[in-house]
């Protein structure tokens, strides 16, 4: 067996010695295009703060800043049994979450059901009927022969929707491959509840939530320092707690100005006006060729869905520029297919630990039928680093903007999503950018900065679409019992048939 050479150090600068001059120039050009320096990070963050404020105002802005009607953080002492339903593009997940008396603890049982492809383009009755059938199956399996009170349900509905109430929501548009007629522009809750009623399933929908809000609440339940929930995955988003007095668009409701309400930012839409983000010609192409040009400007520069496409567009461009001689004389037809590379392709390039980049060489041969030469491999590696680093650094601007807006000197940020969890060096690069934007000189303990002492730390979140949804159902019931029914449409029906209706405080606790 031929040795593949010594293990290389991660993220080391490639050897430029054997590189053709045109390729060295190209790498320099790409470094200029994709590098975001400290000054630019700070400028983006300041603009981000003003756009968050604009989104909260009566006039509104590009960032929707949706009030979620989840009012305040959990105490950690919530108790009771709650269901959570998470309707994704490929699976339906049903969880039963028991919150015991111990602070911040939970027990969970869950089942997954496949979302049949034909349902995604079928009709609404079939969809809600299938969802209700899965819930019925879950309850029959886990509570066979038991006489149940109605179980409160938190439904994670991660599709663009507007919510005037926590227990109702109007679908704006389908995503994730769904295209069912007669649902867009309508409240999704009545047909869903009708399907449950028809089957006699003992469940009461208590909260309709977005997964990002769930991430915030689930993480705060187990860690009281959690202030922000983020998703860095195929898409991107954040949620945080705002005081009602700062939400101009709710001023007409005369809410207690000090009361807290979770805001689902939907910050992928930041800078749709293209005032501040450092777009490259490749970012412009991605936007122009996307299904919704001019929208989700921030998301298109940082989210997993687009990282591989950026990488692909640059490589095709270099091949077509004759003077660079990239993949010269090779058939690049596989590389020319839009969206054929995803973020995991870049991950594999960045994870290649061999000095001669043998894994990257094999990856290009296997997936794209291209045999790259050594200098080309060095450029490929540098390009992946540049795109991955830019994503992490721009992502940090949103986190820093919320921290500065809220005056958080220290905070934990709960993050989820495939890019955060799996992309190499994403966390370290994001932390470095936060350090630059927020001018940290020492850790939260006053000693030199090191991981674990950063004033603002982005860490893995708790399960937002399961535990988070159940907790928001618990908090909503608790509010109803306390007589605080703002933002709840069917508050009378919410208690009917549940343990809470019998005055059983154990159902949602709250010391």
Q: Which of 83, 199, 200, 101 is nearest to 151 (CA)?
A: 83
Options 173, 289, 374, 442, the catalytic residue: 173
Choosing from 62, 86, 93, 158, which is the catalytic residue?
158
Locus of tokens 């994670």: 156
Label the pairing between strands 107-114 and 260-264.
unpaired
Other Cβ atoms less than 10 A from the Cβ of 388: the count is 25
Active site residue 292: no
Overall residue count recorded for the chain in this entry = 511
Where on the phi/psi map is residue 118: left (φ > 0), alpha (ψ -120 to 50), or beta?
A: alpha
Q: Tokens representing 95?
A: 């969880």
Q: Alpha helices of 369-457 — where are they, by DSSP H?
A: 374-406, 418-422, 426-437
Could you tell me if 326 and 376 are in contact, meaning their C-beta atoms sit under 8 angstroms apart?
yes
Per the annotation, the verdict on 444 as an active-site residue is no
Is residue 479 part of the annotated active site? The answer reads no
Question: From CA 230, how far away is CA 236, in angstroms rounded?
Answer: 7
The closest of 353, 310, 267 to 55, measured between CA atoms, is 267
How many C-alpha atoms does 319 have within 13 Å on its Cβ side?
Answer: 18
Q: Give the active site residue among 86, 187, 211, 352.
A: 211
Dihedral of CA atoms 163, 167, 173, 175 in degrees, nearest 10, equals: 120
Is residue 57 within 8 Å of 67, Cβ to Cβ?
A: no
The DSSP result for 92-126, as a single string, is EEEEEEEE-SSTT--EEEEEEEE--GGGGGSBHHH
* CA angle at 286 for the pair 391 and 429, rounded to the nearest 5°: 5
Catalytic positions, please? 158, 173, 211
């Amino acid at each position: 067996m031929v040795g593949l050479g010594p293990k290389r150090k991660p993220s080391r600068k490639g050897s430029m010695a054997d590189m053709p001059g045109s390729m060295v120039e190209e790498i320099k050009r790409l470094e200029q295009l994709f590098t975001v320096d400290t000054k630019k990070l700070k400028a983006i963050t300041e603009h981000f703060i003003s756009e968050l404020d604009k989104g909260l105002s009566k006039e509104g802005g590009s960032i929707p800043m949706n009030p979620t009607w989840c009012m305040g953080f959990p105490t950690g002492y919530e108790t009771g049994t709650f269901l959570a339903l998470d309707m994704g593009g490929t699976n339906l997940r049903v969880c039963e979450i028991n919150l015991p008396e111990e602070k911040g603890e939970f027990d969970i049982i869950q089942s997954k059901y496949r979302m049949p492809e034909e349902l995604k383009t079928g009709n609404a009755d079939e969809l809600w009927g299938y969802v209700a059938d899965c819930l019925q199956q879950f309850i029959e399996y886990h509570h066979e022969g038991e006489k149940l009170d109605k179980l409160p349900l938190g439904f994670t509905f991660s599709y663009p929707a507007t919510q005037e109430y926590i227990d109702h929501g109007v679908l704006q548009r389908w995503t994730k491959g769904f295209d069912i007629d007669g649902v867009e522009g309508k409240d999704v809750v009545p047909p869903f509840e009708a399907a449950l009623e028809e089957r006699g399933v003992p469940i009461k929908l208590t909260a309709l939530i977005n997964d990002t809000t769930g991430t915030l609440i689930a993480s705060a339940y187990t860690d009281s320092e959690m202030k922000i929930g983020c998703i860095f995955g195929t898409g991107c988003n954040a949620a945080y707690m705002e005081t009602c007095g700062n939400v101009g668009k709710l001023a007409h409701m005369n809410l207690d100005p000090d009361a807290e309400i979770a805001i689902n930012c939907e910050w992928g839409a930041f800078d749709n006006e293209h005032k501040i983000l450092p777009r490259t010609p490749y970012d412009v192409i991605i936007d122009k060729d996307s299904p919704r040009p001019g929208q989700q400007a921030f998301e298109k520069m940082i989210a997993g869905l687009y990282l591989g496409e950026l990488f692909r567009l640059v490589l095709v461009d270099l091949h077509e520029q004759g003077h660079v001689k990239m993949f010269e004389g090779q058939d690049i037809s596989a590389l020319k297919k839009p969206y054929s590379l995803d973020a995991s392709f870049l991950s594999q390039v960045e994870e290649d630990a061999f000095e001669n980049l043998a894994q990257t060489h094999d990856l290009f041969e296997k997936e794209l039928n291209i045999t790259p030469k050594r200098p080309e491999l060095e450029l490929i590696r540098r390009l992946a680093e540049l795109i991955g680093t830019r994503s992490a650094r721009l992502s940090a601007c949103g986190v820093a903007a919320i921290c500065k807006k809220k005056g958080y000197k220290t905070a934990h940020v709960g993050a989820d999503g495939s890019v955060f969890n799996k992309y190499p060096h994403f966390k370290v690069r994001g932390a470095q950018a936060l350090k630059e934007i927020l001018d940290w000189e020492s850790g939260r303990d006053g000693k030199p900065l090191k991981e674990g002492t950063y004033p603002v730390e982005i860490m893995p979140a708790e399960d937002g679409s399961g535990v988070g949804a159940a907790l928001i159902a618990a908090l909503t019931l608790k509010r109803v019992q306390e007589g605080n029914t703002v933002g709840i449409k069917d508050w009378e029906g919410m208690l009917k048939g549940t343990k809470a209706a019998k005055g059983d405080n154990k159902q949602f606790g709250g010391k």
